[in-house]
Structures are given as C-alpha cells and as structure tokens.
Amino acid sequence: MPSESPPTFTIRPVEAADVPALHALEQACFAGDRLSRRRLRHWVAADNRVFLVAERNDLLLGYVLVLLRRGTRLARLYSLAVGPAGRGQGIGRALLLAAEEAGSHSRRLYMRLEVAEDNRSAIALYQQLGYRTFGSYSNYYENAGNALRMQKRIRYRSENLQQLAVPWYGQTTEFTCGPAAAMMAMAALQRDYQPSVSEELALWREATTIFMTSGHGGCHPIGLALAMAARGFDCSVYLNRDTPLFVDGVRSAGKKAVVQQVDADFRAAARVRGLPVIEREFTQADLQRWLGEGALALLLISTYRLDGKKVPHWVALTGIDEACLYVHDPDSDDEDNPLDSQYLPIARDDFAAMSLFGREKLRTAVVVRRKP
C-alpha cells in the first residue's frame, strides 16, 4: 500500500481579509503578548514589514511577521505562529526561510529575533537555521519571562567585524540624543561611569546650541567634546567646515546671532583647553581605525532616511565591517523596543548620505578615548 503524501501548504503575502483568521490564530497560539485585531490590521496595511501566511485549502495554518527598520539593513522577526492544524509539518521553518528571503530582497543584511529562554523547540529551530545568541533581556514578556536575543546574517557573512561592547541608554527627551550618545560612549570606556537623567540634562545644558529649527537646541559637537573632556575623557572633534554650525536651520536674525556666538564661544573654549578641532573630512577608514584603537565616535546624522524628517540626530558608533556601520541609536524604534536600537546596521553607502546634515552638508564626529 503506498504511503500517504505529507499534507501540502502554500505561502503567500497577507491580505486584509486574513485579519479574522489571524486573530483567531493568535488566540490559539499564545497565552499572552498577543497581537490585537487592531495591531494586526495595522501591520497588514503597513509597508515597512514582511507579512506572510501559510494556508491549505483556504485554512490559515500559520503566519510570520518581520519588521523592516527604515533607513537600516535590519529586519526583526516580530511574530511567528503555527496553529494546531499545521504543527509538525515544517510550516514554521518554511515561513521563516521565506521571510528571510523576502528580507534579503529588501536589502536587509541581518535578521534579529527574541525568544523565551525556556522555549527549547523554537531555540533549536533557530539554531538549525543559523541563528546565534548574542544577548539576553530580562523581564521581556508579560509574564516577566526572560528572552534570548538571536541574530543571523541573511545576505552574506561578515569577515572583518570590529565591534566594541557599549551599553545602550535611551534619551528621555526629544532633544537629548547627543548627551545620551555621549553617556553610552563614556560608560563603555569607563566602567564606573553611571548614566542618569540628571547627567543627561547636565550634558545638554553644557553642550546645547540653544536654538535649532524649532523647539530646544541640539548639541554642538565641540560642546559635547568639552563636556566629556570636563569629565576626564580625551576628545577630539572632526568638522568638514570652518564656519559656524547650524546657522542655516535658524530663521530669525536674532537667533542666528546667538547661534553664531555660541559657536564662537565653544571654539574659543576648545582652544583654551587644548581640545583638538580638526577641520577636514573624515572617512569611514578613519572610523574603522579609531574603533581598532579602542576609541568610540559620536556621529551626527540626518534622520530623513529613518523617519522622513530632516532632523539632526546623534548616535554612537559601536562597530564596523566591510558592509555596514553599526550604531547605538538613543531613540527607540516605532515599537518602543530598545533592542532594535542597539548595534543597528547601516550600509556604508547609506551612511555616507545620512552623515551629511542640512544645506551646509555638515559632517562631524566626536572621537572619545580614555585618558592615557
């Protein structure tokens, strides 16, 4: 008697009509941390995701949802579910492989995920597919369970990754990205340095330009370097221009004068302190060399490729390889998940454009080292 063929299934992109079945699948698969019907509708309509379903004879058996972080080469497995009718048939594996392929076609280099540390079957699947644990997160789930963080390069393998261990700190205001990035660098270079909200605001007061396009001023690179130097760190600033910074973003003539005065005062203070301000372009080769020497760099980027807004934003460079620069972004992602803001991969070509800010095409870096 011939053996029966294994049941077949197809994988296709999600459709709006799938939401009721997806919601029912959530209820069947998860006791907590479920996606609501509203969130499912949101992700079905979104464009920064991969959302695939597996079905057989119009019965939805499982789904995979992967988020694509804008402006980066990072994909994140947000949810993978296989209902009772589809278990034991390789559907979870097939969905994940299909999602990896779609992520690769979207020019993502890495897939990341979180998994409950006691979910042995899921961990075994991920390990079989090439995922490697690179960290953990306490009290990640609604039941206070811990999560393992896993990652896989889904395009090609990095051969020359240089990466430093840097703690992540999230900015607590919309205008303190510079201080948050500075605290990450200082905490990495000096273990007894303690980031705090008070320190975040103190650094901002010392480094702010006072005015920006609107709202509170952002941080001047020389101001940040002076603030960190006052805390015992060896700093230098690289600028690709010798004229006052951020003036073009201020409309009022009175405010422009204030920004120019602050710029002049920072430069004068740097001369008095002997803090190097190097007025030349720096290269990605320079960044790689500085990391190799054990230094860290704060980099100013435009957030346009991340969120569609032309806003200056400070990040901390934490790693570099032949394809990407890796940064700690002090601003968490749209899902308010700090894990997705750590060692964020940005392709070298993308970074070349992101690291030029404003009409003045400003490119700047603050290089931070331990005192010799």
Domain count, the chain: 2
Among the candidates 157, 177, 193, a domain finishes at 157
In a domain, 185, yes or no: yes
In a domain, 46, yes or no: yes
One domain for residues 149 and 243: no
The pairing of beta strand 312-320 with beta strand 10-13: unpaired
pLDDT number for residue 1? 44
Which portions of the chain are predicted below pLDDT 50?
A: 1-3, 157
What digits encode the pLDDT tens for the residues 282-297? 999 999 999 999 999 9
One domain for residues 87 and 30: yes
Q: Which CATH number goes with the domain that contains 137?
A: 3.40.630.30
One domain for residues 129 and 236: no
Signed CA dihedral, 132, 137, 138, 140: sign only: negative
In a domain, 202, yes or no: yes
- Cβ neighbour number for residue 196 with a 10 Å cutoff: 11
In a domain, 4, yes or no: no
Residues constituting the chain: 372
In a domain, 209, yes or no: yes
pLDDT number for residue 107? 80
Closest CA relative to residue 45, chosen from 14, 24, 72, 74: 14
Burial 111-127 (b: 16+ CB within 10 A, else e): bbbbbbbeeeebbebbe
pLDDT number for residue 210? 82
64: left (phi over 0), alpha (psi -120 to 50) or beta: beta
What DSSP designation does 84 have? Answer: G
Among the candidates 157, 190, 205, a domain finishes at 157
Take residue 176 and report the two structure tokens written for it: 């303190």
pLDDT number for residue 32? 79
The span from the first CA to the last CA of the chain, in angstroms, equals: 79
pLDDT number for residue 337? 63
Take residue 322 and report the two structure tokens written for it: 């032949």
Among the candidates 141, 157, 173, a domain finishes at 157
CA 192 to chain centre: 25
One domain for residues 79 and 171: no
One domain for residues 89 and 230: no
pLDDT number for residue 23? 95
In a domain, 2, yes or no: no
Q: Which CATH number goes with the domain that contains 208?
A: 3.90.70.10
* ∠ CA 309-315-320, rounded to 5°: 115
Closest CA relative to residue 92, chosen from 118, 68, 117, 115: 115
What DSSP designation does 242 have? Answer: -
One domain for residues 171 and 153: no
How many whole angstroms separate alpha carbon 211 and alpha carbon 89?
Answer: 60
Structural domain of residue 332, as residue ranges? 163-369
In a domain, 212, yes or no: yes
One domain for residues 216 and 321: yes
One domain for residues 148 and 189: no
In a domain, 179, yes or no: yes
Beta bridge partners of 112: 76, 151
- Listed in sequence order, the residues at least 6 apart from 268 whose beta carbon sits closer than 8 Å to its beta carbon are none
Q: At what angle do helices 197-207 and 221-230 cross, to 10 degrees?
A: 130
User: Can you list the alpha helix ranges (DSSP code H) found in the chain?
Assistant: 19-29, 37-45, 91-105, 120-128, 177-189, 197-207, 221-230, 253-273, 284-292, 304-307, 348-354
One domain for residues 321 and 174: yes
